[in-house]
Structure 1
């Protein structure tokens, strides 16, 4: 199983969507006071920072798959001038 590259665009769009929904929930539905919102945002940022530090310290995952066999190398054959289809004469 191959590790896929990180996609920054999807992360950015997800954060923007989450911010828009959070803003709507806070201001239009009165789910949180501004004080509760600031404490929640700080808590989320702290947790994300801890997760980032843990992921950095963990390092790269070792490969669990068996090594693939070496590719076979074929030597090209010398065709010479016997194939005129490849190099037609004028």
Structure 2
């Protein structure tokens, strides 16, 4: 299965939707008091921080790491333009 890139736009939309839902629950339905909503938001942020720390520790301990692509050096002096250049070679000062 191919791994897909993380989509920040979906996360932002989800958080925006939850913020509107929270506002509706507090002001229209009286499900939560504003203080309760503040405690829930703080608890959610703390929980997300702990999840991030655990994920970082787990990924740091796993042996499955891939190095970034590094091209092998070559001794070929030619460039993409070829070995012939229109510019004259610089001579060292005497």
Cα distance in 1 between the residues matched to 2:22 and 2:16: 10
- Name the count of aligned residue pairs: 63
Unaligned runs of 5+ in 1: 63-90
Is 1:12 aligned to 2:12, yes or no? yes
Match of 2:52 in 1: 52
Q: TM-score, normalised by structure 2?
A: 0.60
Q: Secondary structure at the match of 1:59?
A: helix
Q: Deviations over 1:55-86 (max 9, x none)?
A: 11111774xxxxxxxxxxxxxxxxxxxxxxxx
Q: CA RMSD in A?
A: 1.9
Q: Secondary structure at the match of 2:4?
A: coil
User: Which consecutive segments of 4 or more residues in structure 1 shift more than 2 A?
Assistant: none
Q: TM-score, normalised by structure 1?
A: 0.63
Relative contact order, CA 8 A, sep 6+: which one is greater?
1
